Amino acid sequence: MALFAALQTTFLLVLLPLGTYQRKVLSEPRPLTPESLEVSINSTCQCLHLQWSIHSLPHHQELQMIFQIQISRITTSSVVWVGNYSTTVKENQILQWSWESELPLECATHFVRIRSVMDDARFPKPRSWSKWSSWEEVDAQDSLGHNALFVFPKDKLVEEGSSVTFCYVSRSNLNNVSCYLDGEQIHGEQLTPNVSTFHLSHVRYKRTTGTNIYCEMKQGRKLAGTVLYVSKVLEEPKNFSCETQDLKTLKCTWDPGSDTALTIQPSSNYTLFESFSQKKKVCEDRNWCSWQVTQDSQEMYNFTLMTENYLRKRSVNLVFKLTHRVRPMTPLNFILENINSRNATVTWKVRPIGNSTFQCQVELHHDGQVIQQNNVFIKVNGKYLLSEMEPDTHYLARVRCAYGNHFWKWSEWIDQKFTTLEAAPSVAPDVWRNVRSLPGGYDVTLFWKPLSKSHANGEILFYNIAVESLDKSSKFNLSIPAPHNDTKLTLNKYSYQIHVTANNSMGTSPASVIVIPGEPGHKEIEEERVKGTENRFSLSWEPQSRDAIGYVVEWCDHPQDPLCGLQWQKLGPNTTSTVISSDAFEQGVRYNFRIYEISPGWIASLLEKKTGYSQELPPSDNPQVTTSSLTSHSFTLNWKDYSTESQPGFIRGYNVYLKSKMEQCTSGFERITPSDDSAGCRHKIDNPEQKTFHVENLEPASSYEFFVTAYTSAGDGPNGTFTKVTTPDEYTRMLTHIVVPVILCILLITVLFYFQIQWMKEKCYPDIPDPYKSSVLSLIKSKENTHLTIMNLKDCIPDAIEVVNKPEGSRTQPLGTGKPLTETELTKPATYLYLLPTQENPSGSGPCICFENFTYNQAASDLGSSGHVPVPPSTPPSQLGLLYSPENLLKALEKYYTNSLGEIPAGETHLNYVSQLASPMPGDKDSLPTDPPVQAQCSEYKMQMAVPLGPASSPPSEDTSLSSTAILDQGEHYC
Amino acid sequence: MQVQLTWKTLLGLVLGLLLLSMMAMGGCSREYQTLLLQMQQQAKIMQNTSMLLDPYIRIQGLDKLDYKEHCKESPGTFPSKDTLQGLSRKGFLQTLNATLGLVLHRLAAFQKKVPHITKDKDQDWKQVSQAEGYIRGVRNNIFCLTPLLNNSSEMVTPTWAGPRTLPPPSLSADAFNHKLDGCKFLQGYHRFMHSVEQVLSEWAEGPSRSRRHSPHWASQGRAHRMRPSRRAKRPV
């Protein structure tokens, strides 16, 4: 027993130190620093790849450890990321870890260090971190090569909406580098002296070939770039559905959404996985996939549709029972049989699915509308009778079917178009007539309306017109091809019954009957006015006989056109009113309606006449007004030619406007619209037939303005100009009767006097004859002396010049006086004037011609007696020179002669003419104008001399006239 | 844009008619001049950048880039005009055929990378597909023209010793550079077709211009009547 106790104590003593030792090791772990840290770059994923190991794990056990990793950029002090990585560590295990950098790793140098701490529950807390490993530097720029410019990262693939950071690395000055995103310049931040970064947020998809980001160095035109592939976000498939048509094959469909394909990323593929059977199928198409139904009677299916691309995965799930997803195939052998004008039979087939029945739907369409719809249940063959259709009508019949055991979806439609057969027209054509009397007969124009499609029952080919005389047994038929809708018949003055039928390929319509009586009545019917409203007229009439079988209202849609567009409306016998409406009705146009009563014998007799406007308008023009019967107190206005029928409204009367200076209107007129100055006074004529108006009670010798306009219910006619009328004075007329004859008498007398003066002038004062044109001269030349000739003035030598000296302005210059008219010939130098007596002129020694000019005589006589006038020394030399020089004198005379034939120049007022008469009577000036020249025995020419009037001349006495007389050498010349 | 489309439509019509005319004739035309003229017209059309380069640039989104600066033809990818002029006719056709084969190969690779759903909707992709057809048309004419030269007096048929395979896209395989490589390649292609058209024009203007019949026809029908001097003037 003692031995046992001793052994037990010894064992405990041995175990105790062991347990104590063991407890002591676990409670004091030694920090383990990560060793052999290696860092590398994976450019594809822009990842830093770390691997390290832990040596000297205690007890060679697996320990749970936490590694803290620090990553710095550019310098060790700029830590960009710190994180822990927890894992189980084995002895001498190489640990790996990756870190994805947002910034491309090529853009900057990275530094990594790591430390660890045990995270094992076997060790009590607190636990201490190991020492940091030394910094590991990673610099990708070392391996870039020798290019001058780089852009990173290369070929980045991101999803739409992501943010991306780019950088460029330049070997030279950064200022020379410009960067672009698909041509648009972008601006970044300088990271290091030769690196700039660009951060792009929410990038958008541009094209499958990616978005180009490139930088250009201006020096040397260096270009570097990269492509950012922006993928559309892979969408979850929508509307995922599976169905079968034959319980053998399932067809699953879905909407895949946007394609995420890029040049570096293929289109996302789709995979079907069925969980019950654990089968999988990769689909070839993006939006559907077929699935072979197993033959082991699997009823339930649980499909998962999966899709993925490089960036994302998506999946949707669908569970269903196979027989609940049956959609039959499109029916086949769809045939239309026994088509006639009203009915047709459709037949079809369905592909059987086991022993199931099918529910089929038959539809009949017309003009795009469903007009019939019926459901039928069939096994395999279907049949349905389509009825109640219209003849000659296009229809579309179609059918579809659904699985009878459980309705899931209808099959696709199968359809066919068809047309029902024609049938004979069902109603008689609506016929009316227009009868025009001719000598001995009628022109009957028949009109009919085309049958509506529902009544024609096919294409109307022609209209048959059967004309039967009721008085004689004659009958004839006409066939009018469609689409004509009228024909003209010329009939004798008998009664005729006309049948009109419409015909198509299937038969004839009922006949429309109309009777033309042989003796139409000529009942005078007063036209009644009706008022229309917009496009309609309400008409009513009084029935004339009780046995009328109907009424017809007739009108023209275009009454102003020669083809007036005859319209009619047939009404039943009990109808006494109707509303005629037409889109052709226009405002301002008068429409005439005739209402006929149809007798049992189909004879139409005129019952009433109505006329009216759908809307009246003011008159389109004003009357052309003339005035008459103008007196000092009244005048009359007339507009007889004004047509009231052609106006766009019923003329209700006329408004006569009168304006005057009087404040008050004349009687019968009322003042209107004070604000309107042009209005004045108005007289309203309510009778449209009154086309004259007598305006009276006017003031004499006053001005009035009038204006006449017609008016309708819509108002006055157009504005016009006022016409002015002035009433005469009361005495004016009387004066007119006296003054006018007096004026006429005076005029008559004046005319008589004028002719008398002409006569007297010819008798008393004939014009001076032209010596060169004298007949006497020719007579002398031929008979007496061939040497005789007309004296040229240049050849004339004045014997004497009498200077008449009269004070200038002392008397009125006679016509033609005051002009230098002297002529002489200088035979010897002369400083004085000669005055030779007329008696010495050898006028009697030879023939002579004498002309006389009373005008000059008058002038000479006005000057007084001729006489010698000594030239005063005070006379200006120039003037004297003109006078005393024989040449000048001669020139002056010549000039005078010339001027005597024409116009005497003005301004030469210093010479007077002295007419030389055959028997001059000096000093007897008064006798000259009055005494006609005495015809001498021989012709005698009197030299007409011009005598200057100078102040130097001695003033003659009033009674003494100085004259100059030239005595010609008769032996030499005849003047 | 409307004008461009109309122009493209017209081009398509012309080339289509050329191809159709050949098909209607049941294969190759035996007319040397006709084939030469057709090839000349085809080369003239294909040198236009709107046939291939412009749609390519739009597809790749490079239209905002100064592609004339950055899409310059890489030297050596396509034979120069001088090189082509230095070739014999047969060698020229062989070179042309081989080069167009490379272009077709590259276009096929380009098309393969792009999803079908995009290509179906894009007018530019349709244009690229049409251009492929036109290139095949040129190759058909080469096929037809080559036998006509077999009877010629050309003893030596040097060909271009340039690349027989696709030039490597780029050392850096990033997509952007790959796009630029394609751009440069097509720039070179259009320049090449311009050179081809000029060389073919010289052919047409050469001594054989007056010959209305193909050498093949002449060799079959009238070889005995042809003078040696004329035969010596065959295109070189």
CA A168 to chain centre: 59
B198 within domain boundaries: yes
Does the residue B18 lie in any domain? Answer: no
Note whether residue B222 is domain-resident: no
Predicted confidence (pLDDT) at residue B169 exceeds the cutoff of 60: no
The tokens of B6 are what? 């109309």
* A599 burial via Cβ count (<10 Å: 0-12, 13-18, 19+): middle
pLDDT band, residue A901 (cuts 50/70/90)? very low
Residues of B in contact with A224 (CB under 8 A): 176
Q: Which residue has the higher pLDDT, B107 or A662?
A: B107
Which chain B residue lies closest to A179 (C-alpha atoms)?
Answer: B65
Which of A154, A209, A221 lies nearest to residue B114, judging by beta carbons?
Answer: A209
Interface test with A, best of B63, B171, B176 (most A CBs within 10 A): B176
Residues of chain A with C-beta less than 8 angstroms from the C-beta of B180: 223, 225
Top-confidence residue, A772 or B36? B36
Tens digits of residue pLDDT in A758-774: 777 777 777 766 666 66
B115/A210 CB distance under 8 A: no
The reply to whether residue B115 touches residue A262, judged by beta carbons under 8 angstroms, is yes
pTM of the model: 0.56
Give the whole-angstrom CA distance, residue A675 versus residue A718: 19
For residue A17 the two structure tokens come to: 């130190």
d(CA A973, CA A968): 7
For A221, the closest of B69, B113, B180 (CB atoms) is: B69
Taking alpha carbons only, the member of A421, A414, A416 closest to residue A389 is A421
Nearest alpha-carbon partner for A401 in A379, A418, A386? A379
> CB atoms < 10 A from the CB of A369, how many?
7
Query: Residue type at A403?
Result: Y
Contact B198, B137 (CB under 8 A): no
Mean pLDDT of chain A: 78
User: Taking CB atoms and an 8 Å limit, are B64 and A264 in contact across chains?
Assistant: no
Closest Cβ opposite residue A223 in set B63, B70, B118 = B70
Q: Which residues of A touch B65 (CB under 8 A)?
A: 180, 183, 212, 214
The residue with tokens 């109707």 is A578
On chain B, the residues whose CB falls within 8 A of the CB of A225 are 176-177, 180
Q: Is B60 on the interface with A (CB under 8 A)?
A: yes
Asked if B118 and A261 come within 8 Å (Cβ–Cβ), the reply is yes
Mean pLDDT of the A707-732 span: 88
Q: Are A224 and A234 in contact (CB under 8 A)?
A: no
Specify the CATH number for the domain of residue B145: 1.20.1250.10
A268: nearest CA in chain B? B115
Residue of B64, B177, B179 lying closest to A183 (CB–CB): B64
Among candidates B61, B64, B177 on the partner chain, residue whose Cβ is nearest the Cβ of A209:
B61
Cβ–Cβ gap B115/A208 under 8 Å:
yes
For residue A213, the chain B residue with the least C-alpha distance is B176
- Which residues in chain B have their CB less than 8 angstroms from residue A262's CB? 115
Total domain count for chain B?
Answer: 1
Q: Does B184 touch chain A (CB under 8 A)?
A: no
B176 touches chain A (CB under 8 A): yes
Within a domain: B72: yes
ipTM: 0.76
What does the pLDDT average to over B36-65?
92
Residue B64 is part of which domain span? 30-205
Q: Are A662 and A699 in contact (CB under 8 A)?
A: yes
CB contact under 8 A, A207 and B61: yes
Query: What's the pLDDT band for B62 if we cut at 50, 70, 90?
Result: very high
Mutation site for B-interface testing, chosen from A44, A157, A182, A209 by largest number of B Cβ within 10 Å: A209
A155 neighbourhood in chain B, CB within 8 Å: 174-175
**pLDDT value at A832 more than 50:** no
Q: Quick check: A180 and B64 CB within 8 A?
A: yes
| A372-422 residue pLDDT tens | 999 999 999 999 999 999 999 999 999 999 999 899 999 999 999 999 999
> Which range (A599-608, A626-635, A726-735) has the least confidence?
A726-735
To the nearest 10°, the Cα dihedral for B21, B27, B32, B38?
A: 40
Shortest CA gap A126–chain B (Å): 52
For residue B105, what pLDDT band results from cuts at 50, 70 and 90?
Answer: very high
| Cβ–Cβ contact B121 with A under 8 A | no
In a domain, B6, yes or no: no
Report the amino acid identity of residue A640.
K
A744: number of Cβ within 10 Å: 10
Those residues with Cβ within 8 angstroms of residue B181's Cβ, 6 or more apart along the chain or in another chain? B74, B169, B170
Residues of B in contact with A183 (CB under 8 A): 63-65
Residue in this structure with the two tokens 């010329």, named with its chain if needed: A490
CB contacts of A266 in chain B (<8 Å) are 115
According to the model, what pLDDT value does residue A426 have?
A: 92
Is the CB of B65 inside 8 Å of chain A's CB atoms? yes
The percent helix, strand, coil of chain B (3-state, each to 5) is 70, 0, 30
Pairing of strands A604-613, A527-533: parallel
DSSP per residue, A527-545? EEEEEEETTEEEEE---S-
Residue A915 confidence (pLDDT) above 60: no
**What pLDDT was estimated at residue A474?**
86
- Please name the member of A155, A180, A259 whose beta carbon is closest to the beta carbon of B115: A259
The per-residue pLDDT for A778 is 61
- Complete DSSP assignment for A313-345: EEEEEEEEEGGGGB-PPPPEEEEEES--SS-EE
Residues 6+ apart with CB under 8 A from A802: A833, A835, A866, A867, A868, A869, A914, A945, A947, A962, A963, A964, A965
Instruction: Specify the pLDDT at position B187.
Output: 94
Task: Kindly determine whether residue A223 and residue B180, on different chains, have CB atoms separated by under 8 Å.
Answer: yes
What is the nearest CA distance from A207 to chain B, expressed in angstroms? 8
Inspect the interface and report whether the beta carbons of A211 and B61 lie closer than 8 Å: yes
Q: Look at A210 and B175 and tell me if their CB atoms are within 8 Å.
A: yes
- Compute how many other C-beta atoms are within 10 angstroms of the C-beta atom of residue A611: 17
How far apart, in whole angstroms, are the C-alpha atoms of residue A553 and residue A579?
10
Cis? peptide before A807, omega within 30° of 0:
no
3-state secondary structure of A684: strand
**Which residues of chain A neighbour B117 with C-beta distances below 8 Å?**
259, 261, 267
Task: Answer whether B118 touches A (CB < 8 Å).
Answer: yes
Helix (H/G/I), strand (E/B), else coil: A627: strand
Q: Is the pLDDT of residue A5 over 50?
A: no
Of the CA atoms within 13 Å of residue B164, those in its CB half-sphere come to 4
pLDDT of residue A791: 62
Nearest to B113 among A154, A214, A263 (CB): A263
Selected for mutation to probe chain B from A150, A182, A206, A212 (highest B CB count within 10 Å) is A212
**pLDDT, tens digit, for every residue of A232-255?**
999 999 999 999 999 999 999 999
Q: Contact at 8 Å (CB) between A935 and A850?
A: no
Residue B2 covered by a domain: no
pLDDT category, B115, cuts 50, 70, 90?
A: confident
Question: So what's the pLDDT on residue A580?
Answer: 92
Chain A closest-CA separation from residue B175 CA (Å): 6
- Please tell me the predicted confidence (pLDDT) of residue B160: 59
Query: Could you give the CA distance from residue A355 to residue A329 in angstroms, rounded to a whole number?
Result: 15
Greatest C-alpha distance within chain A: 236
Residue A748: CB atoms within 10 A of its CB come to 10
Contacts of B174 in chain A (CB under 8 A): 154-155, 226-227
B216 domain residue, yes or no: no
Confirm if A149 and A222 have CB atoms less than 8 A apart. Answer: yes
Write out pLDDT tens, residues A73-112. 999 999 999 999 999 888 778 899 999 999 999 899 999 9
DSSP state of A175: G
Residues on chain A touching B59 (C-beta within 8 angstroms): 207, 209
Chain B, nearest residue to A152 by Cα: B174
Whether residue B212 is contained in a domain is answered as: no
pLDDT at A597: 92
Higher-pLDDT residue of A306 and A643 is: A306
Six token digits for residue A701: 């010798």
